[in-house]
Amino acid sequence: MIGRLTTDGRSPATVRSASIRSLRQPSRVRIHTPSPAPDPVPVWERKLTTERVAIRVREAEEVLYPVRWYRWITAAAERTCPECGGLAGHTWSEQQPGSSPPLHVNCRCRVALDHLEWRVRYVARWRTRWIAQPAWSWQRTGWE
């Protein structure tokens, strides 16, 4: 059986498969569309500024503290023993170890507070300090 031929001499089956193939292929015709406008790009400007930064520092801090000074007071009498008489008017601080009245039986000596001495002691302490530090800051100045 002889099939019907198309006008250009090909069989209808060949023509049909060719047309399907052409449909599957991407079209060679390009539709010209104007390219979309590019997205605006922000313009940034860098500036040098100073910012305050908190830092922790260890510092020596002066601390005043009192030291008591005592005075040896001897009873002024003819019965005063030579040991106590020699100590009359003697002053010492509370940080110096030493003897204190009564020195013996029937001692009439006594201790009086002479004066207060203020001494300085250094204590290490953590403290927050604020320092100025250069830093770059970015700022959007516009679009391009």
What lies within 8 Å, CB to CB, of 38 at 6+ separation is none
Instruction: Tell me the closest approach of the beta carbon of residue 122 to Zn ion, in angstroms.
Output: 40
Q: Which stretch binds Zn ion (CB under 5 A): 10-18, 50-58, 103-111, 128-136?
A: 103-111
Cα(55)–Cα(51) distance, integer angstroms: 13
Cα(73)–Cα(62) distance, integer angstroms: 34
Nearer residue to Zn ion within complex by CB, 9 or 82? 82
Cα(58)–Cα(124) distance, integer angstroms: 6
Q: Which stretch binds Zn ion (CB under 5 A): 21-29, 64-72, 97-105, 129-137?
A: 97-105
User: What single DSSP character describes residue 51?
Assistant: E
- Out of 107, 110, 112, 141, which residue is the one contacting Zn ion (CB under 5 A)? 107
What are the tokens at 18?
């060719």
Q: Which of residues 13-72 bind Zn ion (CB under 5 A)?
A: none
Contact 143, 42 (CB under 8 A): yes
Per-residue x/- mask for Zn ion, residues 108 to 137, rule CB under 5 A?
Answer: -x----------------------------
73 near Zn ion (CB under 5 A): no
Q: Which residues bind Zn ion (CB under 5 A)?
A: 84, 103, 107, 109
